[in-house]
Amino acid sequence: MVFTGIYEHTIDAKNRLAIPSEIRKQLQAGHESQGKGCLYVTPDEARQALCVWPGDRFEQRAEQLDQSPRSPRELLPYERLFFSLASRTELDKQGRIRIAENLLQMTEMTGDVTVVGVNDHLEIWNREAWQAYMNQMLEQRPELLMHPRQAMRDEALVSPTKAPTDEK
């Protein structure tokens, strides 16, 4: 399941967010085949967005951490924060999720939001913050709009300090 697109929505007074219908259909189809109907909401690393993970993807992340070559001493601080701040939720009959109050406060998220598909998860951004981020990226990193085949070969994407190459 790959999530794409940009959708404008609103978080209501009861901290509920309607998941876009196209995304909801993907989630419901995936849940039926995987047997996992829950979602997990976590803050992103900069606390400017919330990440929404399908249950199976979230569990895959936990398994990857269990198999990490890093020592438990290195992983434990990350796991304490990541998993303690994660909030489990489910789609209600109207296709909404409830977002935990502490996550909304941490990200200063209220009212008008933008839901963004980001490959294996969704992100929820304050609408103005998303617009500012997108404008900044388009201005400072226009190479991010390159063709995917070029992106897979271009080291400028991996290391933004290197100059882009003109491969033909």
List, in order of start, the domains of the chain with CATH numbers.
Answer: 6-127 (3.40.1550.20)
Residues 121/42, Cβ–Cβ less than 8 Å: no
User: What pLDDT was estimated at residue 107?
Assistant: 92
pLDDT in the model for residue 104: 95
pLDDT in the model for residue 161: 56
pTM of the model: 0.82
* Cα 140 → chain centroid: 22
CB 91 within 8 A of CB 39: yes
The total number of residues shown for the chain amounts to 168
Residue pLDDT tens, the chain, 168 long = 899 999 999 999 999 999 999 998 888 876 554 445 799 999 998 889 999 999 999 999 999 998 989 988 889 999 999 999 999 999 999 999 999 999 999 999 989 999 999 999 999 999 999 999 999 999 998 888 877 777 777 665 655 555 444 443
Distance CA 107, CA 68 (A): 29
Residue 108 carries which side chain, given as an amino acid letter?
A: E
